[in-house]
């Protein structure tokens, strides 16, 4: 046997295969900041994100789970907001058709907006 044949190939260290995909969405401004950090790191985006998460260079803020009552409020208000949108759509159509006056149209929209704000306040103050 030659000297070369006697030498064993150096084996690559065994690492876990990256098979699970993780994705997330960002606003345009957040995405720009993310890309700046990725570029500054000199890594690919996936390697950068993996390092941030796995080396725990992130600050995790746990959110408390909403109560059953709050979840129910959100469900009901989501249904109600759909009805408010339908009323606003109808008021707009009737205003454009000349069926209702501008002042009536404005009062309807103001009332709908007030209801929407009050519903959001109720949810914000729940729990």
Name the nearest CA neighbour of 24 among 47, 46, 51, 56: 46
Shared-domain flag, residues 86 and 119: yes
Same domain, 72 and 121: yes
Residue 66 makes CB contacts below 8 A (sequence gap 6+) with 74, 126, 127
Final residue of a domain: which of 62, 79, 112?
Answer: 62
At residue 98, the pLDDT reads 96
Domain tally, the chain: 2
CA distances from 42 to 22, 37, 57, 118 (A): 21, 9, 17, 48
Q: Which domain holds residue 85?
A: 68-125
Domain boundary among 13, 38, 62: 62
Q: Write out 22-70 in H/E/C secondary structure.
A: CCCCCCHHHHHHHHHHHHHHCCCHHHHHHHHHHCCCCCCCCCCCCCHHH
Residues 120 and 74 in one domain: yes
Which residues in the chain show pLDDT less than 50? none
- Report the pLDDT value the prediction gives residue 9, as an integer from 0 to 100: 65
Using a cut of 0.75, tell me whether the model's pTM lies above it.
Answer: no
Among candidates 14, 34, 38, which has minimal Cα distance to 26?
34
The answer on 117 and 101 residing in a single domain is yes
Q: Are residues 73 and 119 in the same domain?
A: yes
Both tokens of 71, joined, read 């979840």
Task: Evaluate whether residue 106 is within a structural domain.
Answer: yes
All residues at 6 or more sequence positions from 73 whose CB lies less than 8 Å from its CB, including other chains? 122, 123, 126
Quick: pLDDT tens for 82-113.
999 999 999 999 999 999 999 999 999 999 99
Final residue of a domain: which of 39, 62, 85? 62
Report if residue 4 sits inside a domain.
no
């Amino acid at each position: 046997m030659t000297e070369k044949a006697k030498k064993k190939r150096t084996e690559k260290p065994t690492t876990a295969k990256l098979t699970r995909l993780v994705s997330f969405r960002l606003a345009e401004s957040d995405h720009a900041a993310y890309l700046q950090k990725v570029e500054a790191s000199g890594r690919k985006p996936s390697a950068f994100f993996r390092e941030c998460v796995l080396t725990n260079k992130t600050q995790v803020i746990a959110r408390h789970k909403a109560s059953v009552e709050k979840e129910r409020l959100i469900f009901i208000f989501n249904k109600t907001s759909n009805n408010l949108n339908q009323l606003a759509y109808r008021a707009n159509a009737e205003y454009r058709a000349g069926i209702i006056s501008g002042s009536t149209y404005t009062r309807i929209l103001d009332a709908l907006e007030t209801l929407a704000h009050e519903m959001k306040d109720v949810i914000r103050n729940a729990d």
